[in-house]
Amino acid sequence: MSQPIPEASHDLRGEAFTGFRRDDGRVGVRNRILVAPSVICSHIVAERIADASEHAVCTPHDHGCAQIGADHDQTERTLLNLARNPNVAGTTVVGLGCEHLQSSPFADRIAADGVPVRETAIQDAGGTEACVEEGIAATADLTRTALSDERADATLADLTVGVVSSDLDRSTREVADPLVGETVDALLDAGARVVVAGTERLAPHPDAASARGATDAVADEIRAACERDGARPGSAQRITRCAADAEFGSVVGTWGTARVDEFVPYGDRVSIDEGLALIDSPSRFEEAATGLAAAGASVVVHVTADGIPTGHPVVPVLKVTADETTATALATDIDLDARAVGPDAVLDELLRVADGGRTATEEHGLTKFAINRVGPSL
């Protein structure tokens, strides 16, 4: 049986932290320089560039070439919106020179959104080592500017919080997810934006899922995602099969009680000023975290019974578990044991992290990056 979760006990609208307020008003909780390879062929060079600066992070991936149609479009918009994440103070784009997703016009698109950007490409720079040197210099230039950024006062209403629950273990459904759901309700009451991931778990419950849409348009988008995911081959449906054996309420425990105000395609940004958004993303942590970061989340809460210890290069990740074995064996990799805390403790941790406090994955330097695919690459 699940244990009752105490409700958040205080008004959070006045709770403050200091973050990095961008020109468009968004608030980041980190001040990172993103080194973004535009293509798989340049990701090792990009990693070398990022490794030369303690303020830089890299997003190595196996995309950017041999993709067509919706897959190429999804990769490009995901990388573009990662560069627009409020935790990013500037971006160095690293290309090869002959790829589909060309680094120079891609950098121009980032600059058009007001993000400080530099660009280099292996073939244009004169080879690998020349590109590394050029990229290190460009990233150092962006870093000097970022280091002059001062932290500004902010409240929870300035945050966009991402949430993903990557399994449907009993401890997750009965303890951890409800705890996060209570936290989500408190965040929404404080005026924050919350983005949740994991649409494949909705497929067995299309009627209940679409009924959570705040508008007919959102309900229709949720139902369409249910129909699509329900038609996927069996090998892709582990979470879906587990969800079919559970009540709908326990499948979406992290959503809290709010209705969904916006349905966001993978790689797109959230447009609502406050409220609950659902991103069209699988529950797998790596892809979900990237989708949440692209949507604009500056911090992510990850519920895991398995104890997945990795974070994300762009956003700090707060790990929550209710599995006894995981909480004991991975005590230094888990931020919160859901069996022992209420939503106030989760909110306090969110505020601590937003104010610059490090998460377990940040302490260990563990990150993983992946972009979801629409279909197979050629």
What would the 3-class secondary structure string for 180-241 be? HHHHHHHHHHCCCEEEEECCHHHCCCHHHHHHCECCHHHHHHHHHHHHHHHCCCHHHCHHHH
What's the order of all strands across the beta sheet hosting 152-155? 27-28, 16-21, 152-155
Give bridge partners of residue 163 from the DSSP assignment. Answer: 196, 301
Strand-pairing partners, residue 36, are 93
In eight-state DSSP terms, residue 311 is: B
How many Å is the Cα radius of gyration of the chain? 20
Per-residue confidence (pLDDT) for residue 12, from 0 to 100: 61
Question: Which pLDDT value is given to residue 11?
Answer: 57
Amino acid type, 208: A
Span 79-97, mean pLDDT? 96
Taking 90 as the threshold, does the pLDDT of residue 83 lie above it?
A: yes
Residue 70 has pLDDT above 90, yes or no: no
pLDDT, average across residues 74-84: 95
DSSP 331: T
The Cα 133–Cα 16 span in angstroms is 41
Mean pLDDT score of the chain: 92
Region 51-80: what's the mean pLDDT?
87
- Confidence category of residue 71, pLDDT binned at 50, 70, 90: confident
Q: Which domains does the chain have, with CATH numbers?
A: 22-147 (3.40.50.2300), 154-364 (3.40.50)
98 pLDDT more than 90? no
pTM (2 d.p.): 0.94
Q: Quick one: how far is CA 70 from the chain centroid?
A: 21
Residue 98's CB: how many other CB atoms inside 10 A? 12
pLDDT at 374: 80
DSSP three-state, residue 329: helix
- pLDDT level of residue 178 (50, 70, 90 thresholds): very high
Which pLDDT does position 2 carry in this prediction? 42
Tens digits of residue pLDDT in 142-167 = 999 999 999 999 999 999 999 999 99
Distances (CA, A) of 105 to 36, 66, 100, 112, 348: 14, 18, 11, 10, 42
Strand, helix or coil at 30? coil
| Three-state DSSP string of 55-116 | CEEECCCCCCCCCCHHHHHHHHHHHHHHHCCCCEEEEEEEECCCCCCCHHHHHHHHHHCCCC
pLDDT at 121 over 70: yes
- Provide the residue count of the chain: 378
* Degrees to nearest 5, angle at CA 215 with 211 and 221: 70
Mean pLDDT of 194-212: 97
Q: What is the mean pLDDT of residues 254-264?
A: 98
- C-alpha span between 6 and 4 (Å, rounded): 6
- Tell me: the pLDDT tens digits for 230-243? 888 764 578 999 99
pLDDT score of 5: 44
| Structure tokens that stand for 260 in this block | 């969904």
* Nearest residue to 250 via CA among 186, 169, 184: 169
**By percentage, how much of the chain surpasses pLDDT 70?**
94
The per-residue pLDDT for 202 is: 97
Average pLDDT over every residue of 304-332: 97
What share of the chain has pLDDT > 90, as a percent?
A: 85
Structure tokens at 196: 């949740």
Statement: residue 68 has pLDDT above 80: no
**pLDDT-based confidence at residue 321 (cuts at 50, 70, 90):** very high
